[in-house]
Amino acid sequence: MTQKAFVNQDLMATFNCPRCQKSKRMDVSRFCSQQKEIKLRYKCKCQYSYSVVLERRRYVRKPVRLLGNVLRERKRYAMKVEDLSRYGMRIKMIDPLSPLQKEDVLEIEFNLDDANHTKVNKEVIVQTLMPQAIGVKFKTTDHYDQFGKYLLFHFG
């Protein structure tokens, strides 16, 4: 099983041994210039060796399954939110939506999986176009509504 180690602003990461539960904080700056995924082998003092992926995202992403819509030119296009963070999300289009380009602004709506099924309406900016998904960032990361509470309390 591969562990994740989150890289902080000082380019330090904490490695947590799954066997003995001991932690080791290390400088990972020499690896962070790479654009691709960084996967390392780490050997703990207890002699247990395990795989670690360095996570360089600013905010943790949470896998979700939330249905919603992209609103564009007075039409609704069904979509599914696949993962979510304070900064953005990955969506998968159920209804085809084209043409899309990087930096396009879209309006999205979806319901959270909280007790009230809170409806969220946000403007997002297209960041990445993948064959099966679209990566978007929120136009603003100031979430002072129920969505902000959801991000705060459901991302423990």
Domains along the sequence of the chain with CATH: 2-55 (no CATH), 62-153 (2.40.10.220)
Look at residue 58 in the predicted model and tell me its pLDDT.
Answer: 65
Look at residue 25 in the predicted model and tell me its pLDDT.
Answer: 93
Look at residue 80 in the predicted model and tell me its pLDDT.
Answer: 97
10-residue averages of pLDDT along the chain (156 residues): 81 91 91 81 94 79 92 94 92 90 96 92 94 92 86 71
Which residue do the tokens 């360095």 mark? Answer: 54
Is the pTM above the cut of 0.75?
no
**Concatenated DSSP letters for 11-57?**
SEEEEE-TTT--EEEEE-TTTTT-SS-EEEEEE-TTS-EEEEEEE--
Look at residue 57 in the predicted model and tell me its pLDDT.
Answer: 67
Look at residue 122 in the predicted model and tell me its pLDDT.
Answer: 95
